[in-house]
Amino acid sequence: MRLLDTNNLKLTTFITKAPEYAILSHTWGVDEDEATFQELQPPSTDTHLKKGYIKIKRFCEVTRRNGYEWAWIDTCCIDKMSSAELSELINSIYK
Residue 95 CA to residue 86 CA, distance in Å, equals: 15
Q: Model-level pTM?
A: 0.81
Q: What percent of the chain has pLDDT over 90?
A: 44
pLDDT in tens, 42-55: 888 899 999 989 99
Q: Determine which helix (DSSP H) or strand (DSSP E) holds 59, and give its type and residue range.
A: helix 51-65
Which residue ranges make up each domain of the chain?
2-93
Q: What is the mean pLDDT of residues 7-27?
A: 89
Q: Give 1's pLDDT tier (boundaries 50, 70, 90).
A: confident
Length of the chain: 95
Q: How far apart are CA 89 and CA 72, in angstroms?
A: 12
Tens digits of per-residue pLDDT, 67-89? Answer: 999 999 988 888 888 888 777 76
Confidence class of residue 94 from pLDDT cuts 50, 70 and 90?
Answer: low
